[in-house]
Amino acid sequence: MIIWNVVGLAALLALFALWFVVIKQIWDRNRKDEAKLIVWIAFVVLAPFFGAFCWLLWDNWLREKAQQDF
């Protein structure tokens, strides 16, 4: 089960990397207002998903750790 968490985390990090590339392209075109708007929207939309994913990763790790202890 941990392997799927790692794959999901890698996909999420790839999404963030792509997001930063898009922001960099917009920023280089001197459209700083649009870049700032996209950053704020992405934080509002993506941050809860990232937090939930990290919580699920932590929860699954704790469950597997508890099963190994017994």
Range of the domain at 37: 2-69
pLDDT tens for 44-54 read: 877 788 788 88
Q: Looking at the 3D structure of the chain, how many domains does it have?
A: 1
Prediction pTM value: 0.47
Token reading at 48: 């809860």
Cα–Cα distance for residue pair 52/63, rounded to 1 Å: 16
Q: Across residues 5-12, what is the average pLDDT? A: 78
pLDDT tens for 26-37 read: 778 888 788 778
